[in-house]
Structure 1
Amino acid sequence: MAGIVNYISESFNELKNHVTWTPWAEAQRLTVVVIVFSVIFSLAIWGIDTVFSGLIEYYFTLVKS
C-alpha cells in the first residue's frame, strides 16, 4: 500500500514542479481549433457517405430493373 501512496505522491510532485503547462489562453484557442476541425471533418465524412449511399441505391435500382 505504501508503494501506491509513494507513486501518487511522486506523480503529483512531477506534475506540479516539472511539467511545463500550456498557457490557458493557448489551450482554449487550440481546443477551439480541434472542435472546428472535428466538425468540418465529420461534415465531410457525412457528405461523402451520403453521396456513396445515393450511388449504391441508384446502382441497385438499375440492377433490379
Structure 2
Amino acid sequence: MNIKSFVIESIDEMKNKVTWPNYSFLQNSAVLVIVASLIFSLLIGVIDLGFENLMTWFYDLF
C-alpha cells in the first residue's frame, strides 16, 4: 500500500464512514467537561489547603 492510496482511502473513510456528532451534542459535552474540570480542581484545591494547614499545625508543634 503506497502513501497516495492510503491518503485517498483515509479521506474517503472520514467523509463517508465516520459518524460525526452534531453541534448540540458537542456543546453539551464541552460544558460537561468544563464543569467536571472545575469541580475536580476545586476538590484538589480544598484537599491541598487542608494538607497545607495540617502540615503547618504539625510543624508548629516542634
Q: State the identity %.
A: 40
Alignment of 1:4-43 (within 5 A): 4-43=3-42
TM-score, with length taken from structure 1: 0.83
Unaligned runs of 5+ in 2: none
How far 1:57 sits from its partner (Å)?
1.2
Q: Report the alpha carbon displacement of residue 3 of structure 1 after superposing the two structures with TM.
A: 2.1
**Number of equivalent positions:** 62
Quote the RMSD (CA, aligned, Å): 1.4
Which residue of structure 2 aligns with residue 54 of structure 1? 53
Corresponding letter in the other structure for 2:46: G
TM-fit CA distance, 1:5: 2.7
Equivalent residue letter for 1:61? D
Deviations 1:23-65 (A, max 9, x none): 1111111111111110111111011111011101110111x2x
